[in-house]
Amino acid sequence: MVLSRRWSAFLVLVGAWTWLIWPRFAVAIWKDDRSFAGGGPTSFLWVHALLIGASLVIGTAVGVLGVRAWRAAPPAGRAEESAAAAAVPPKN
């Protein structure tokens, strides 16, 4: 399966957005009063740390897939040619 360049760019932007948003959220969680109690981390911190970590992993995977799809997609002018060529049945 080959994605269009438009969808590939969308996936790359989603991956970048993930890396822009979640670290800022992590800082906010770290500074939250509910994150630490009795000198140690609370379940509030652990749950959010797992959510942030999972989101960053998924965002990275989506971004990498977007970059790979971008590289595999034909340039914009050639995409129509490729689609037209694929629609023509082979001669026997």
Among 52, 51, 67, 53, CA closest to 15? 67
- pTM of the full structure: 0.76
Encoded amino acid at 54, one letter: A
Mean local confidence (pLDDT), 63-69: 97
For 4-15, write each residue's pLDDT tens digit.
Answer: 999 999 999 999
What local confidence, expressed as pLDDT, does residue 75 receive?
A: 80
Among 51, 57, 72, CA closest to 7? 72
